[in-house]
Amino acid sequence: MFDGESAEEIHSEKYYGKILEDGTLQLSPCEALHLMERDVDFEVNGEFLGFEDAFERFCEVDDEFSYKYPAYSDLRERGYIVKSGFKFGAHFRVYPRGVNPYKDGDKKENEHTKYVVHAVPENHNLSFQEMSRAVRLAGNIRADMLWAVNDTEDQVTYYQVDFKRL
């Protein structure tokens, strides 16, 4: 149960999750935790969890969650619409403010994914091949590749990587 908001409102107006055939809202761990942080209460597997308990559980299930979530939350707080970037080998795909990511049919240029974002911890070693592959995949969908670097204070710094033809 959502606190004052229906699953449909959260999905269609705030662009969280996916509505399943039975009408329930399926959320990613980042989406669920961000809604908890915004004081939206709901059940997780039949019980109500606090923010800290949910964060710990999600970290147990996903080794990357501790640095993915701060990036997700930061992007959402900046007003971006953040969806899974799994198809593109990254953590997130990010749409500009005001765009409907669920729109069917032809999209205007400003309605496409703006960024493909991959979160990493502060001392992550990144190979040139990994960086090149990520930039190429983002370029295939006309998006910019951003690395969200999460430091030990959970501050996120974004680095954009582009390719140049000589």
Residues of the chain with CATH 3.40.1170: 1-62
Question: Class of 63-166 per CATH?
Answer: alpha beta
Residues of the chain with CATH 3.40.1350.10: 63-166
Question: Class of 1-62 per CATH?
Answer: alpha beta
Q: What is the DSSP string of 98-156?
A: T--TT--S---GGGS--EEEEEEETT----HHHHHHHHHHHHHTT-EEEEEEE-TTS-E
Q: Is 125 helix (H, G, I), strand (E, B) or coil?
A: coil
pTM metric for this prediction: 0.87
Query: How confident is the model over 6-56, as pLDDT tens digits?
Result: 778 888 788 898 888 888 888 999 999 999 888 777 666 777 888 888 899
Query: How confident is the model over 102-131, as pLDDT tens digits?
Result: 666 666 666 678 999 999 999 888 888 888
Angle at 34 between CA 120 and CA 137, to 5 degrees: 40
Cα separation, 163 vs 166, whole angstroms: 10
